[in-house]
Structures are given as structure tokens and as C-alpha cells.
A and B are shown apart, each in its own frame.
Chain A
């Protein structure tokens, strides 16, 4: 589904990604872990096409298409979804208007009929229930006055309603208490199936107790320095990132 080759990227003139190699197949959940400043969020933003990040070399292929050639909205329409670390507030625009526009733009792109207001409302109600969200959140302005937990839940609500092929979760666990973490995780688990994939970026292992990954990659100094199964996350939790730094990290940066 997703193939990343030798990806290098800059932020504000500074090299952040220094040659990422990664392949994700349908039905897989990959976790990217790493210390602060290692480039985790940069990777998620580059995949989504954030223009604040400059790709200097490398390739990204998504479902056989060159992702780097596409505008952010087209990547979204093709099925790349980014759950933001810091969801943005849009004053005066209701969640409902926003989500309905998003769904219908994506449907139009695939030559599907737009949803009727009734179909849309039914869909939203169904998905809100999964996340235990109050109906009133839908009529409120996008993320305005939402608590940290509500914002993250709102991201997952969008994930469930837009139902993309690839979900990029950027530090979705940050700022969540344990109850909210469980709800958000269960939302992601409802999303998971054999035809889609998840790339989750996290600093801590605890999210992986609830969303169990198939693969764990350690990102350090702009490169993936170690990959393994879910047990790698536990090992990291136990030994800390220093353990990687003193071994693989040195080797990778030679």
C-alpha cells in the first residue's frame, strides 16, 4: 500500500528526515517510536503533504501512485488521513458542515453520489456512538472550546466517518487520560481491517497496549534505526531510547 524510499526532508532549512525506508501493506499496523525531535511528526506531515515540510529527495508510493506529485487534498481523497497531534480550531464552522463537505468532496473525487443530509446524519450518529461522543459536539464549531480529549476524539470521529485506506496517527495519545486513551484506541481498533493500514507515531509504549501493532520501528536522528515486532516496544519501554542510541544508532549514522 505504502512504499517509502530514501526519504529526506527539511523543516525551516534543517535536515530532519535523512533517508527513511518503510513499506506498509494492507491489514498492517505500524508504530513509529522514537525520542523527541527524531522526526516522527515530520514523517506524518510529509506523508500528508504539509507544505511547511520540504522533501529534498526520495520517493513515496501509495497504492501505486506517486504521492509526492499530489496536492494535500488529493492525497486525502486518495485515502491518506492524518489525525493531527494538535487539531486546529475553525471558528464559526460547525463540525457537521465541515465533515459533510469533507465526505462529499471525497465521494465526488471517486464519482460517487453525495450523501443526503439524512444519510450523513445517520452516519455521524452511528460513529459518534462508537466513541461515546455527545451529539452536541457535531453542531459545535470545529474544535473550538473542545477539551484536549474531545479534540482527539473528534479526530477519530473523522477517521471513522471518512474511512480512509491509510490512517496516520500523530501522537494521538498525547494529553489523554487513561479513559480517553481507551476510547480513542477502541475507535482505531474499530477502524482496522484487512483492507486498510495504520501508521501510528508515538513517544510512549502505553498506546500500544491498546492498539497492538504488527511492526514497531524506532526512528532516531532522521532514520529508522531498528525494526521489530510488538515486543520491541516493550524492550524500549524497559531500556529507554539510550539503549538504541548506543547500539544501532551509532551504526546507522556511520
Chain B
């Protein structure tokens, strides 16, 4: 059985009454500031020499360099895909610098040794690096451009046998784990951007939770693109052994700039028997100006493998940034009784484009998946949900529930839904629900009539719409996500 539907909602007229919504969509990116820090940047262009240069800079062993080169050679033979519902100028891969590291003292013993400019930036972003915030229980592996500069709480984690470090460090310190798991969920042959990432990834995080350990705190990484025209290629690998649990938070914000920046990250999750991984993202890359100029291209491959029986992987994402977002955090439900979840809020404003969703691949028996997707389009943006639910031949008793809601703000934006359902097992149960609504003037007037301003009214309506997703986020992150949504849709309404 196969089912392919498309639902488009589009309109070009603007009425006077929608002026309010128009105003709401005129907000400027609030966190646009550039830190002046000396960077060591590779010359533009991509070839085997550059790949070797990156590997050498990272002080990697030869096997890693070879792996990168294999990926690079494979990438060279590939063609950039153009099937998503987004439009952009061709990317000149030879006009990008693939490595940039902030210059710093070689080894740091404490935060006091970190460049004060860097710390100021973190502070502006509200990153909980200072002592008091550390006490609040968040361990931070901060990624500034391409090199990790500060990692906290390592000792506490170490006691439990948990590894939480930069991927570069892991390559040197834990080569066996890296050799076993890197590329095991997203091989470099997977897709164009995964191949590119495999060749040039500069940094990222590695998490390893050993058998039977429940990670006592949320692990959090903040990403930030800084140096001009530097592509950011993060690589994240999380492995949860039997009967372990980890909740991982990823959040980011980037400064204003004029040239489009390519961001092609790869995230791989591996959950063994009875293990659970919860991966939450708040994404706020610079979306470009009102005309869409200068925003980040966010082409990300995120995939989790529920390898073990009763394992669970849960993706929660709040996407408000980037000029173009193209990502499908997915779950391969291999182990019997394994569970995959995807909760997503994607907001597009001005000329932003998003083509995002998930893939739930049911292979094991009695596997279950839930997809809750909330798309909000404002301004002249285009917001697409694209999701695949595949039930394999042996996935006896598999179940999926998909709910896919779109909200339109104003008259010039678009919401699109592309659900793909492929079922090869008769006993499977697949449900799909979809709605499209408008932020109604009648709703806004109702709230106005109770003394609530239009801006607050819109926030309230939007937050209500996203509630099912926000409640999946860790508390602190949920608050941040709500703020981000308000900022993304904020305008000059008096």
C-alpha cells in the first residue's frame, strides 16, 4: 500500500486587516553581533590537501584521515540533490573555507584562561558557563566555530563512566568506539551532504553512556557560527548502551552576516537494548534579512538507530532560524518493541524556507512511532512537512500515529504537506491526521477584547498551537523555545 498526498495552501492577496500580521513579520534578528576574535582559517576551496589539512589540524590518526579521504572521493562523484521544496542560488563549494579555529592557548585548565571576548559572547547568548549556572546542573560542551573551548562537569560524568567530549578528542582517546560507531547510522555514502560532512567535519560532540547508567543531567551543546564565510560541519555521535538513558540538548544562535553559510551537520544516535535517547534541539541560525539575504543554509542529516529491543529514540525540535532548513531527524526501529518519536515546531518568516519532517522506518516487531509536527508560516515564507513512514515486511504489529498541523499567518506564505506511507505488513496500523488553520482575526479580536495586545495575542495563539511539542522539551528549554518563537514572530505592533 502506498499513499502520497499533497496539500497546498497559498494566497496572494493582502487585506488592510492583515496589516497587523504584516507588521508582526517585520522583526529584525535580535542576536546579531560578531565577536572579534583572531581565527585561523583554511584557504577557500576543497581538495584532498584541504581534507588532510583539517585532519592534521585536529591531530587525528591516519585511519581517520583515510576515512575522510574516502568520503571526499565518494562525494566528488555525487550530484547535489534538488528534490526538496526549496529554492536557492547554486552553492560554490570551492568558494567556502572548510576550517576555522579560534586562536587560543594550547591547553586550558579553567575558564579563566579562555579568551574574554569568547566568554562575553557566551554571556550574551546566555550560555550557562559561569559557576552559578554550572551549579544548576547543566554540563556544557561549548562549540565556538569549530573547536571546543570549554567542557564542564566532565569529572562527575567520568565517575559514572559517561563520556561527553568533543568528537576530535574522542577520535584520539576512544578510537575503538569511534571506529565501531562513526558512520554506522549515517554512512558517508548516505547522501551528498553526509559525504561532504564526513570529509570535512571540524568538530562536534561525542557521548557514550555505558550499560545500566542513567545520565544524571541534561547534556547540552551550544553551537555558534562565527568566522566570516566559514562553513560549519558538525559531527555528533551518541551511543547509549544497554539499559541506559540520556537527554541531550542542542541549541544555537548565530550573528548577522551577508554571505550565505552552509551548515551541513550529521548527527548519529545508537540505542542498544532497553536504552533511551532523548535529543532536543532549539535551532535559531541567522535566517537572513527581510529579503532573505545572508541567512544560513541548514542541510542536516540526523538519524537514530533503535538497534536494541525495547529501545527508544525521541527527537524534539524547535526550528525558527536559517534561510533554508532541510532536515529529517529519523528513527530506524530495528529492535523489537522499539519506539521512535518526532515532535517538531518549525517556524518560517519573511523569505525563509523549510522542508523538514521525519522518517520512521519500522523493521522490528511491535515497533511504534509517533510524529507530531507543527508548522507555522508567516511573511512570504514557505513551510513544508515531508515525512516517511515505512513498515517493513517483518514489522509485525507495527503502529504509527502522525499528526501534522500547519498554521498560516498572513496571506503571502505557504504551507505544504508531503506524507509518504509505505506499508509491507498487513498487521500494521498507520494513522495520519492533518490540519491547516489561519491565525484568525476573530481569535486576535477575542483576546484583544479581553485587554490582551495583538502581539501577546499572537504569541498566545502560537504557543497554544505548539503546546504538544513544547511539553516534550526539558523545562528550561521549553521556556527558551517560547521566547524564541516570540522573537521570531515579533514586530512593531504597538
Contacts and interface: CB of A to CB of B under 8 A. Distances in A.
Interface of A: 48-52, 71-73, 75-77, 81-82, 84, 87-88, 90-93, 97-99, 101-102, 105-106, 109, 141, 158, 162
A97 to B, nearest CB: 8
Most buried by B among A84, A88, A106: A88
Given A51-B445, A52-B17, A101-B456, 19 more contacts: A51-B17, A51-B441, A71-B448, A73-B449, A73-B453, A75-B449, A76-B450, A76-B451, A81-B449, A87-B446, A88-B446, A90-B443, A90-B446, A91-B465, A93-B461, A98-B447, A102-B450, A102-B452, A106-B451
B81 interface: no
A101 B452 contact: yes
A72 B20 CA distance: 13
Given A105-B451, A106-B451, A92 B466 contact: yes
A84 B450 contact: no
B441 A92 contact: no
B418 to A, nearest CB: 24
Given A51-B445, A52-B441, A72-B445, A93 B453 contact: no
Contacts of B467: 92-93
B451 A73 contact: yes
B397 interface: no
B464 to A, nearest CB: 3
Given A51-B445, A88-B442, A105-B456, A158 B450 contact: yes
Given A51-B17, A90-B443, A90-B446, A105 B452 contact: yes
A4 B450 CA distance: 22
A105 B448 contact: no
A92 B468 contact: yes
A65 B449 CA distance: 17
B463 A93 contact: yes
Given A51-B445, A52-B17, A72-B445, A92 B450 contact: no
A92 B464 contact: yes
B460 interface: yes
Contacts of B448: 49, 71-73, 76
Query: Does more than half of chain B's interface fall in helix, strand or loop, or is it mixed?
Result: helix
B440 interface: yes
A52 B466 CA distance: 28
A52 B16 CA distance: 10
B320 to A, nearest CB: 18
B454 interface: yes
Nearest to A84: B446
A75 B451 CA distance: 8
Contacts of A109: 451
Contacts of A99: 450
A48 B441 CA distance: 14
A93 B464 contact: yes
B451 A162 contact: yes
A101 B443 CA distance: 15
Nearest to A141: B464
A123 B447 CA distance: 20
Interface in B417-447: 440-443, 445-447
Q: In the complex, which of the residues A50, A72, A93 has the most CB atoms of chain B within 10 Å of its own CB atom?
A: A72
Contacts of A73: 448-449, 451-454
B492 to A, nearest CB: 14
A105 B443 CA distance: 17
Contacts of A49: 448-449
Interface in B270-305: none
Nearest to A108: B451
Most chain-A Cβ atoms within 10 A of its Cβ — which of B441, B460, B465, B468? B460
Nearest to B405: A91
A90 to B, nearest CB: 6
Nearest to A103: B451
B435 to A, nearest CB: 10
A12 B449 CA distance: 21
Contact of A98 (B450, B466, B468): B450
Contacts of A93: 460-461, 463-464, 467
A90 B441 contact: no
Contacts of A141: 464
A243 B441 CA distance: 38
Nearest to A168: B449
B372 to A, nearest CB: 12
Residue of A71, A93, A162 most packed against chain B (CB within 10 A): A93
Contacts of B465: 91-92
Contacts of B449: 48-49, 72-73, 75-76, 81-82, 84
Contacts of B464: 90-93, 141
Contacts of A82: 449
Contacts of B453: 73, 105
- 9 closest A-B pairs by beta carbon, nearest first, are A92-B464, A93-B464, A92-B467, A72-B448, A102-B450, A88-B446, A76-B451, A105-B451, A106-B451
